[in-house]
Amino acid sequence: MAAAVGALALGLAGLGATTAAQAADLGNIDTGRTGSILIHKHESGSQNANGTADGQTATGGDGVADVVFTAYRITNLDLTTQSAWDGLQSTQVPADACGADFQTPSLGSYTFDGGKASAATDSQGETSIGDLPVAAYLVCETSSPGTVKTKAAPFLVTVPFPNNSANTASADGSWLYNVNVYPKNVVVQAPTKTVDVSANGLKSDAQVSYPVKAQVPSIASTDSFKHFIISDPLDASLTDGQVASVTIDGEDVSSSYYTVTTGQTVSLGFTKAGLEFLKTKPNSTVEVVFTAKVVTVPDGGVIDNTATFYVDTVPQSTPPDNPPLTPPDEPGTPTNKVVTSWGDVRVSKTDADNSKALQGATFQVYDAQDPYAASCEGAVRTGAPISVDGTTEFTSDGDGVVSIAGLFVDKKNGAPGEASVTPDHAQRCYVLVETAAPAGYVLPSSADTPLTVKTGVTATGSYDLTVTNTKQNVPQLPLTGANGRLLLMALGIILVAIAGGSALVARSRRTREQKS
């Protein structure tokens, strides 16, 4: 936040001589009386009306809980004397009056006591600091929750407070010993993030999407947004960061209101026109959907992702002409962590007869109907073949290895503040289908093989699965043996019969010749 300057407008009141016991009808300050500061802590811009010192105006407003204030008494300013009031009206309170730690007050030549702290504000943003003697106090917001972007500007309060028309809109001319104050904060709610996976095979465009939701803070009418940026730095296993969509309360936001920076750190920053638009949408939800491609499986298999929300305001009626569109050099508010897990696949293709590696077998991989079954043995394929790096077919190499670069295993959205997020499942079921066997080998009649993909990288020399092929059957060769001997015997008998027949024919012919 830009430095805010607060000043307490104080009227001068004539102080008469006081006695230990003052008359009830005197208008003088009762120097023996104590008072209190009644604190109403609201989000900037959330009140329906400005508060008044007497607390009689209904302001509404969203309370900010768990904020602690400390009232530091100015010890060298005695408000029981006329001269002490001189100059208070023009006292300027700089934004750093409470020190860098918000507990070390410093204001001109004034000196301070050790301070008196309030209890933490309740859910309505209410607390008080009581039993305060007549004095001027510098009030500092000394503690606040992480949702508070910048602590409230320090301010001066006098006890009592002159409740006249010069100092408050609800004046009755009295001295107020119980003074109502309404310090405000720009409250930044932590953005939330989820993750979705649309393609289970590595190296698919925009396969991982990261929707990020951020609430637009409510800010004072006199302030403007300095910047409003949501940024998503990608892990080294991701690439091609893009913005798929930008909506507010479910409606598309005009692209003229923001600029997208793509790449390894993908960001969306609102332009001046966009910042003016956001001011009209307090407490609305901006959703930016980032996308990325998974290019490698890291050693552990898990890819973390956390986005960051950067928002700030300036005390002026319009935003800067050229607001930053990428992350500024200041801390932002992180989302919860989300993770996805991936695993590669190594399949050994071998000869069923001799276990030698086989080259040239082709496979496809499919999702399983029950991806997280206790056992993948009965996995049944579903859907279309999965594409990995643009191909749906994977062939065994010269070492008989079928390599699939990476498949999706699981995802998980971490809780706010959760540093380590682990997916619920360490493995996922797929189905490997052999579509072509090497030449001379049989393609199995049931080519579907259940495949268990585990998170992480499969070690060299290890395999997730071994698939064998048997050789083709061929016609029988003509071989000697029992059948051959029978054939020879039959041929021999035929030849003997032929020879015997020839001899009989020749004898019959000679007999006829002799008779003649």
Q: Sketch out the chain's domains with CATH numbers.
A: 35-187 (2.60.40.10), 192-335 (2.60.40.740), 341-469 (2.60.40.10)
Q: How far apart are the first and last CA of the chain?
A: 150
Distance separating alpha carbons of residues 309 and 335, to the nearest angstrom:
8
Q: How many Å apart are CA 164 and CA 111, to the nearest integer?
A: 28
What pLDDT shows up at residue 500?
65
Helix (H, G, I), strand (E, B) or coil at 280: coil
Q: What is the pLDDT of residue 44?
A: 78
Q: Please give the Cα distance from 59 to 301 (Å, whole number).
A: 54
Can you give the pLDDT at residue 480?
Answer: 57
Provide the phi-psi class of 509: left if phi over 0, else alpha when psi is between -120 and 50, else beta: alpha
Give the HSE-up count for residue 39: Cα atoms under 13 Å, Cβ half-sphere.
31
CB 202, CB 403: distance < 8 Å: no
Residue 11: predicted pLDDT: 31
pLDDT at position 219 is 84
The low-confidence residues of the chain, meaning pLDDT below 70, are 1-25, 169-170, 479-492, 496-497, 499-516
Q: What is the pLDDT of residue 220?
A: 78
Please state, in angstroms and rounded to a whole number, the distance separating the CA atoms of residues 248 and 268.
Answer: 14
pTM of the model: 0.72
Quote the tokens at residue 145: 């929750």
The two structure tokens encoding residue 352: 């069923």
CA angle 184, 188, 191 (to 5 degrees): 165
